[in-house]
Amino acid sequence: MALHEKSVEEIAELLDEYGIKHGPIVDSTRSLYEKKLERAMEDAPVKASSDKTYYREEEEEITYITYHSPVKRDGYTDALKRRGNAKVDESDESDQETESLIHVTKRTANHSPIQSKDQIRKSGGGMWLLLLLLSVLAAVGYYIYCRVTSNEENTFGIQ
Amino acid sequence: SSGNMSTTSQKHRDFVGEPMGDKAVTALSGIGETLGKKLATDGFDKAYVVLGQFLLLRKDTEMFTEWLKDTTGANSRQAVSCAQCLKEWCDAFL
């Protein structure tokens, strides 16, 4: 549909979509806004027209991931929980940690060939989260190790 | 407004110095006889009607400049001068 056939609401929506600030779309302003829109659409032809299909593809990808990963994820999570409980049973943070680790595994497990920019950014964040988590785990482990050794020393000292 | 100081005319200073009242469209800086006639034919016979258009375009000088060029065939210098004139008038009186 040509721009001049669109309703005022449609024109307003398109202007918003292309980030063009606008006032009322009336007889004296409409042709100017249509011109601005045409120019914006030429500059970024992909943006408006295929934007919606792009999102749909993304959604399909996400559902695909959630359908296929549970088995793998659950196993990993359980193992991690066991490990976490064995190591740090008194730590309140352990639940939170495993939860965020689930996120990480979900993200990093997604190695689909078509990765959107968004997903790349997210998995990048996931990597940082993973690194942060590993360092936290290492710190907790070291803390426990220190306590255990000092306890041993103490008991030996008393005896 | 600072960048345009060197190009402001006496006409500009006269216009932004007082309420526009019932002034003709040609009182706007950048609008001479020819552009004034063209504007009047389109219904913009008074400065305040042009101000109305400027306000409809949210006081966006760039948008207004483009509109004025498209509708009257004004050149960039004329259109920018008129937009600047209305902008400064608004800053002072709105």
A34 near A4, Cβ under 8 Å?
yes
Question: What pLDDT, on a 0 to 100 scale, did the predictor assign at position A64?
Answer: 52
Does residue A13 fall inside a structural domain? yes
The whole-angstrom separation of Cα A59 and Cα A55 is 6
The whole-angstrom separation of Cα B28 and Cα B54 is 12
Distances (CA, A) of A155 to A136, A148, A149: 29, 11, 10
Q: How many domains does chain A have?
A: 1
Does residue A110 fall inside a structural domain? yes
Residue B81 has pLDDT above 80, yes or no: yes
- In the structure, what pLDDT confidence band is assigned to residue B2 with cuts at 50, 70 and 90? very low
* Nearest residue of chain B to residue A36 (CA atoms): B63
Q: What is the mean pLDDT of chain A?
A: 68
Q: Tell me which of B45 and A74 has the higher pLDDT.
A: B45
Question: What pLDDT, on a 0 to 100 scale, did the predictor assign at position A86?
Answer: 47
Q: Do B57 and A35 touch (CB under 8 A)?
A: no
- In the structure, what pLDDT confidence band is assigned to residue A144 with cuts at 50, 70 and 90? confident
Q: Do B56 and A35 touch (CB under 8 A)?
A: no
The four Cα atoms B8, B14, B16, B22 give a dihedral, to 10 degrees, of -140
* Nearest residue of chain B to residue A32 (CA atoms): B67
Q: Tell me which of B6 and A29 has the higher pLDDT.
A: A29
Q: Which long-range contacts (CB under 8 A, 24 or more apart) does A128-134 make?
A: A129/A100, A129/A103, A129/A104, A130/A101, A130/A104, A133/A97, A133/A100, A133/A101, A133/A104
Q: How far is B7 from chain A (nearest CA, A)?
A: 27
Token pair recorded at residue B57: 């375009």
B57 interaction partners in chain A (CB closer than 8 Å): 23, 29, 32
Q: How far is A33 from chain B (nearest CA, A)?
A: 9
pLDDT, tens digit, 9 for 90 and up, residues A20-52: 999 999 999 999 999 999 999 998 875 545 444
The whole-angstrom separation of Cα A123 and Cα A105 is 10
ipTM, two decimals, is 0.88
The residue-averaged pLDDT of A61-71 equals: 51
Predicted model pTM: 0.54
Question: What pLDDT, on a 0 to 100 scale, did the predictor assign at position A98?
Answer: 47
- Choose the most confident range, by mean pLDDT, from A85-89, A149-153, B76-80: B76-80
* Nearest residue of chain A to residue B53 (CA atoms): A28
Does residue A18 fall inside a structural domain? yes
Q: CB under 8 Å to A53, separation ≥6 — which residues? A: none
Boundaries of domain holding A109: 3-154
Domains (range + CATH), chain B? 3-93 (1.10.150.40)
The whole-angstrom separation of Cα B49 and Cα B37 is 14
A110 three-state secondary structure: coil
Q: What is the mean pLDDT of chain B?
A: 93
Q: Mark B59-79 as b/e (b = at least 16 C-beta within 10 Å).
A: bbbebbbbbbeebbebeeebb
Token pair recorded at residue B44: 């913009």
Beta-bridge partner residues of B24: B46
pLDDT, tens digit, 9 for 90 and up, residues B36-77: 999 999 999 999 999 999 999 999 999 999 999 999 999 999
A31 interaction partners in chain B (CB closer than 8 Å): 70
Does residue A159 fall inside a structural domain? no
Does residue A24 fall inside a structural domain? yes
